[in-house]
Amino acid sequence: MTQEISKNEAAVLVDIDSRGVATVTLNNPEKHNAFDDDIIAQLTTIFTDIAKNENVRVMVLAANGKSFCAGADLGWMKRMANYSYQENLHDANGLANMLKALNFIPQPTIAKIQGAAFGGAVGLASCCDIVIASEKASFSLSEVKFGLIPATISPYVVGAIGLKAARRYFQTAERFFADKAEQLGLVDEVTTPEQLDESVDKMINTLLANGPIAMRQAKQLVFDIAYQTIDQALISETSKRIAAIRISDEGQEGLSSFFEKRSPAWHSNSEE
């Protein structure tokens, strides 16, 4: 099913197919899919709804047109220039909450990047689990060119590219391409423009072959154990988690299907 959610009705499209693959598409190519406060609110609602939807197994974030996303809309930036501190703070919190909603979607998320991704768009990519980009895609943390800083996206971008690279690109606003983004860890896979759809579909199929509950728990595991001290408490917690999922319905089905040399039950649910 395809639905348009917004006051600006065509700006964001949502499609959920029979396999449980949700595709969220930025659909304002005339403005290079730049976002404003209205689109940010739409995306926050969409990401929150997907997170709650037990029928969604994978989410793809994509865009129509030449560019993936140019970051903040110029008209919105012009309005913000006349905002008070409190009004700016309100707008910043809106963007920060949207990024948080995307980052913590429990299902696996894929960013499909076909073109330019500037400013806040680098934050969108950094919040996704897997980023697949066309070799024509380009990136820039461009905020300092406008006398600004990439503040709300910074926790996610630093997590994606690391402290040293962030120190450089936050300050230089250099434009770099998909091959460099892959070296930095922002992009996971680079493909030709002609093969981008196929590469994303291949990754979707890879994910659909896995236990849906297991993937959610595996993703949460990364958030929970990252940078933690490996002490007895952590050892105990991770042991409890594997024990619990082994005896779960999905864990039992996964193990049984493996030993019985058959496809697990969730495979039939992922076929169109």
CATH number for position 226: 1.10.12
CB 55 within 8 A of CB 20: yes
Which of 207, 231, 255 is the last residue before a domain boundary? 207
- Specify the number of domains making up the chain: 2
Per residue in 235-270, pLDDT (tens digit) is 999 999 999 999 999 989 999 999 999 999 998 655
In a shared domain, residues 147 and 34: yes
Residue 107, token pair as written in the block: 């299902």
In a shared domain, residues 62 and 81: yes
Residue 222, token pair as written in the block: 């990364």
Question: Residue 161 maps to which CATH number?
Answer: 3.90.226.10
Give the containing element (helix H, strand E) for 89.
helix 85-103
In a shared domain, residues 42 and 174: yes
Which of 154, 174, 207 is the last residue before a domain boundary? 207
In a shared domain, residues 80 and 112: yes
Q: Collapsing DSSP states into helix, strand and coil, what is residue 163?
A: helix
In a shared domain, residues 43 and 164: yes
In a shared domain, residues 95 and 43: yes
In a shared domain, residues 185 and 225: no
Q: Which domain holds residue 91?
A: 2-207
Per residue in 81-130, pLDDT (tens digit) is 888 999 999 999 999 999 999 999 999 999 999 999 999 999 999 999 99
- Strand residues in the chain grouped as ranges (E): 2-4, 12-16, 21-26, 58-63, 109-113, 116-118, 130-134, 138-140, 175-177, 189-191
In a shared domain, residues 89 and 140: yes
Per residue in 150-209, pLDDT (tens digit) is 999 999 999 999 999 999 999 999 999 999 999 999 999 999 999 999 999 999 999 999
Which of 177, 207, 237 is the last residue before a domain boundary? 207
Residue 241, token pair as written in the block: 């988690």
Calculate the CA 208 to chain-centre distance: 17
Tell the residue number behind the tokens 């110029």, with chain if given.
Answer: 74
* DSSP strand pairing (2-4 vs 12-16): antiparallel
What's residue 78's pLDDT?
A: 83
In a shared domain, residues 108 and 122: yes
In a shared domain, residues 118 and 49: yes
Residue 34, token pair as written in the block: 């730049």
In a shared domain, residues 43 and 176: yes
In a shared domain, residues 26 and 128: yes
